Amino acid sequence: MTAYQLSPIAWIDTPFNEKFGIPRQSIGLSQARGKLRFREDINVVNACRGLEKFSHLWLSFVFHQHHNKKWSDTVRPPRLGGNERVGVFASRATHRPNPLGLSLVKNEGLNTLNELIVSGVDLLNNTPILDIKPYLDYADCAKDAICGYAPSRPSDLKLVSFSQSANHQIKKINQTQTDFKALLVSILEQDPRPAYKQDLKNDPKQYHITLYQWDILWWVRDTGIIVKSITLS
């Protein structure tokens, strides 16, 4: 059988250094920004000419951190509570016969170093990008689509609050990383815990996520999600 050899056109820098906590399908998460560093033989100014006229872009990428792991023909999507199995092609699961991902992002344009800035990313830091295509609404938006078990964005957002020391850190970090607090809140309010724990209040477990170089420790109480501390990881 013919196989096709595809090489990255770029790699994307994102705030997400580990998989846990990366929002799923995050076009709504406008705070999460990414920077595409193109490979050297691509003339970026030429290849992106006219791209500024499109507000949204498709990124085709490789789920690079597990392309050697075996895929299974059924998966348990978090949306179904992690219990029910559906076919791998009826899901956006990362383990697929081909480790291809697809993400719609907002186009923020080239910077002065000819890196392409995008926002609303849900990609792991350093993800290899295979292609960029302009979003065409007449072709890419299906009116009246029926979307199975994921008919709409998860809407039940948790309240996020901060301990005194976390608050103190946030203020410091925000001086250089101006989107930090907004990004952190938008990730935590979706409750990144495994689906079977979503209903558990007063969860005794402490959780970590990392954003940029920061390690964030949080837990879930009656009042919602509480960030306990933020430290350099």
Binders of a copy of itself among residues 101 to 140 (CB under 8 A) are 102, 104, 106, 128, 130-140
How near is the Cβ of 146 to a copy of itself at its closest, in Å?
A: 4
Task: Give the x-and-dash track for 212-231 against a copy of itself (CB under 8 A).
Answer: --------------------
Task: Give the x-and-dash track for 158-197 against a copy of itself (CB under 8 A).
Answer: ----------------------------------------
- Site for a copy of itself contains 49 (CB under 8 A): yes
- Angle, CA of 132, 142 and 195, to the nearest 5°: 80
Measured distance CA(95)–CA(70) in Å, rounded: 7
Measured distance CA(207)–CA(217) in Å, rounded: 6
**Cβ partners under 8 Å of residue 231, min gap 6:** 169, 214, 215, 217
Is 30 strand, coil or helix?
coil
How near is the Cβ of 138 to a copy of itself at its closest, in Å?
A: 4
Contact criterion met (CB below 8 Å) for 88 and 95 = yes
Window contacting a copy of itself (CB under 8 A); options: 35-43, 179-187, 202-210, 222-230: 35-43
Q: Which of 145, 156, 204, 222 binds a copy of itself (CB under 8 A)?
A: 145
In angstroms and rounded to an integer, the radius of gyration of the C-alpha atoms of the chain is 19
Between strands 224-232 and 160-162, the pairing is parallel
- Site for a copy of itself contains 76 (CB under 8 A): no
How near is the Cβ of 163 to a copy of itself at its closest, in Å?
A: 33
DSSP H or E run through 104:
strand 100-110
Measured distance CA(10)–CA(127) in Å, rounded: 9
Window contacting a copy of itself (CB under 8 A); options: 12-20, 44-52, 190-198, 210-218: 44-52
How near is the Cβ of 52 to a copy of itself at its closest, in Å?
A: 8
The two structure tokens encoding residue 200? 């558990």
- Site for a copy of itself contains 68 (CB under 8 A): no
